[in-house]
Amino acid sequence: MQQLSTRHLLGIKGLTESDIQLVFETADNFKEVLNRPIKKVPSLRDITIANVFFENSTRTKLSFELAEKRLSADVVNFASGSSSVKKGETLIDTVNNILAMKVDMVVMRHSSPGAPHFLSRHIRANIINAGDGTHEHPTQALLDAFSIRERLGDVAGKKVAIIGDILHSRVALSNIFCLQKLGAEVMVCGPLTLMPRHVAALGVKVEHDVFKALQWCDVANVLRIQMERQQIKYFPSLREYSLYYGINRRLLNRLNKEIVIMHPGPINRGVELNSDVADSENAIILQQVENGVAVRMAVLYLLASVK
């Protein structure tokens, strides 16, 4: 059996193109399993996985938990709000206590960039990064690219515009790395105040006019405004942001082609996306959610076989 070149999934930057293609091929098989009447396989029957989330999460946490249970793994859920972290316990002590209970794999979300990398140097279990601050969110990028491949046949040669709050988004960075490794062209679009200063150094096109970005792309991956990460005001109001960067049916009708609309969720309807776009034939948002389970099953299964 083919194996991943790494024993942790800390970010897309650490994966090769072959690793990504292996995840996709494995996810294809698991997607077929998910469409059966009995949606469970015994692949990880002897594996215990801890979901250690130091930040709020609905979609990612549910998706990982469902993926783990579909693979027959034993699952332990940890939420920092009701843990000894509130009493001053350190990250390493928390995780070591979990590992002392003989856990094989840790899925971790943390508000500090680099937290999963730090942990991987100090513990023996496989680590999966479920989002570290504004740094990376590798499984989201993998499921986004998998969804593009499913809808358009291939990622190579496609033009993908990432639109919205690029500055605070971990999804944007992981998507840029993943799409470039697979041969896609990437553009980032948003207000100047929500654009990282040296983003062009990543080899992406930079645009501030949303209509020009939509006219250029085959796929628009629309990001929400991350108000919870913003310490200062980056634009006058949500109404003004929506006026200049919100995507609605009227805007899409002005294009001379059909494009694919994506969103990692949660959607702020009426801000970055109107309902007439989010619920349209152009959107593959619910397919992304469905593919998320298959892709995470693939990642868990492949990492469990790497010692």
pLDDT digits (tens, 9 = 90+) for 47-65: 999 999 988 788 899 999 9
Q: What is the pTM of this model?
A: 0.93
191 is in an annotated binding site: no
Q: Does residue 269 have a known ligand-binding role?
A: no
Is 60 annotated among the ligand-binding residues? Answer: yes
Q: Is 37 annotated as a binding residue?
A: no
Fold of 139-285: Rossmann fold (3.40.50)
Q: Is 266 annotated as a binding residue?
A: yes
Judge whether 45 is annotated as a binding position.
no
| Tokens representing residue 93 in the block | 């002590």
Model pLDDT for residues 107-162, shown as the tens digit of each residue: 999 988 999 998 898 888 999 999 998 899 999 999 999 999 999 999 999 999 99
Residue 198 neighbours by CB distance under 10 Å: 7
The sheet with strand 105-110 has its strands ordered as 74-79, 48-53, 105-110, 126-132
Per-residue confidence at 255, pLDDT binned at 50, 70, 90?
Answer: very high
Decide: 275 and 249 in contact? Cβ < 8 Å.
Answer: no
* pLDDT at site 111: 87
Q: Count Cβ neighbours within 10 Å for each residue of 94-118 and write b for 16 or more, e otherwise.
A: bbeebbeeebbbbbbbbeeeebbbb
One fold for 12-137+289-305 and 139-285: yes
Give the per-residue pLDDT at 227: 54
Question: Is 250 known to sit in a ligand binding site?
Answer: no
Mapping DSSP to helix (H, G, I), strand (E, B) and coil, where does residue 2 land? coil
Strand ranges (E), 137-193: 159-163, 185-189
Q: pLDDT tens digit string along 216-244?
A: 999 999 998 865 555 556 666 888 888 89
CATH class of 12-137+289-305: alpha beta
**Does 109 count as an annotated binding residue?**
yes
The mean pLDDT value of the chain amounts to 91
CB atoms under 10 Å from CB of 35, counted, come to 10
Locate the domains of the chain by residue range: 12-137+289-305, 139-285
